[in-house]
Amino acid sequence: DFPPEDQGYHNYDEMVAELDATVADHPDIAAKSSIGTSFEGRDIPVLKISDNVGQDEDEPEVLFDCNQHAREHLTTEMCLHIAKRFTDNYSDPAVKDMVDNREVWIIPVVNPDGSVYDVESGQYRGWRKNRQDSGTDLNRNWGYKWGCCGGSSDDPNDETYRGAAAWSAPETAAMRDFIDSRVVGGQQQIKAAIDFHTYSELVLWPFGHTTDDVTEGMTQEEYDRFARVGQEMAESNGYTPQQSSDLYITDGDSLDWMWGQHKILAYTFEMYPANGGGLDGFYPPDEVIEQETARNDGAVDILLREAGA
């Protein structure tokens, strides 16, 4: 489990309990289901938040997913914070307006096995990948131009191992099936998304596989919208905005597939800290959770607004 001084973090079981408590407290606006199971058979829960939550209404849908990378535990807290804010603060008219006019999907732990493995000994392992064989980097296993461009590794021992094939990891396959399932009447219902990571305090947009702004699957107008909304979100949280490939090239990451396949306005946020000194940056003390998750409230609201644009 998390060490005693970091008990403010939710482990996998506590995350599930927190989602169950949210649903129990707010059954009219919150519902839990599962997108599938991990390699070791753990459930990957998803929370839906909206008015008339049991119905699939014609409202723009927004996706927040967290903890693709095992050691990035602050992101799980980010997803739980979003869930709590949109439910506990439902009496706030501004929150009610967002909840009533959107369908918000929250997946706090995309990589349950890796997340559990990282903390189970009581000492942080610095683990990144899933737990399939020697581990696949889930954020190199998505199927848009998988392995195309030198932005991932074919060596199973590397930290950015892309897997034997696109979607070879059950966790990414579950994400794909869930997002594909939101195509209703030929239209992708999810209009915008944030995939939360740590760390470096960045707002990133596609593509990751090429440094070109305009390329197959991205017009100048589309790129400009990514940059405009990305910059606006970055102004709200003090992060640095940039195209993801300007950081480094990746292929098979979630962002490229969400946009390339489904035209979802998809961002990657790299959360606190800005500079972490290697592995330490993945393990900020639990005392920062509240500040560093609330820090993104404005950006989350901007994304919800933009999902309706």
Contact residues toward Zn ion (CB under 5 A) are 69, 72, 197
Structural tokens at position 6: 């970091």
- C-alpha distances (whole Å) from 87 to each of 10, 116, 175, 202, 308 are 18, 27, 24, 27, 20
Residue (42 or 69) nearer to Zn ion, CB: 69
Complete DSSP assignment for 170-204: HHHHHHHHHHHHTEETTEE-EEEEEEEEESS-EEE
- Contact with ligand 0X9 (CB under 6 A): which of 139, 152, 237, 293? 139
| Shortest distance (Å) from residue 261 CB to Zn ion | 20
d(CA 147, CA 161): 10
Of 59 and 72, which CB lies nearer to Zn ion in the complex structure? 72
CB proximity list for 270: less than 8 A, separation 6 or greater? 197, 198, 199, 200, 201, 202, 204, 239
Residue 87 interacting with Ca ion (CB under 5 A): no
At 178, list the tokens: 């869930």
Distance CA 304, CA 98 (A): 7
Q: Nearest-CA neighbor of 268 among 166, 192, 217, 216?
A: 192
Residues 243-262, mask of contacts with ligand 0X9 (x by CB under 6 A):
-xx-xx-x--x---------
CA distances from 212 to 218, 223, 252 (A): 9, 10, 17
Is residue 141 part of the contact set for ligand 0X9 (CB under 6 A)? no
- In three-state secondary structure terms, 233 is helix
The window from 6-14, 28-36, 43-51, 240-248 that contacts ligand 0X9 (CB under 6 A) reads 240-248
Which residue in 18, 270, 292, 306 is the catalytic one?
270
Q: Is 61 a catalytic residue?
A: no
Report the partner that residue 52 touches, choosing among Zn ion, Ca ion, ligand 0X9, none (CB closer than 5 to 8 A by kind): Ca ion
- If the CB atoms of residues 86 and 223 are measured against ligand 0X9, the closer one turns out to be 223
Of 196 and 223, the one with the shorter C-beta distance to Zn ion is 196
d(CA 200, CA 57): 37
Number of residues binding to ligand 0X9, judged by CB under 6 A: 14
Binding to ligand 0X9 (CB under 6 A): which residues in 167-226? 197, 204, 208
Question: Is position 187 an interface residue for Ca ion (rule: CB under 5 A)?
Answer: no
Taking residues 22 to 51 in sequence order and writing x for each that binds ligand 0X9 by CB under 6 A, - otherwise, the string is ------------------------------
Cβ-based neighbour number of residue 207 at 10 Å: 28
Residue 286 sits in the site that holds Ca ion (CB under 5 A) = yes
Cα(266)–Cα(195) distance, integer angstroms: 8
Rounded to a whole number of angstroms, the minimum distance from the CB of residue 130 to ligand 0X9 is: 13
Which residues are catalytically annotated?
A: 270
Q: Contact positions toward Ca ion, by CB under 5 A?
A: 5, 50-52, 56-57, 103, 189, 285-286
Q: Contact positions toward ligand 0X9, by CB under 6 A?
A: 69, 72, 139, 197, 204, 208, 244-245, 247-248, 250, 253, 268, 270
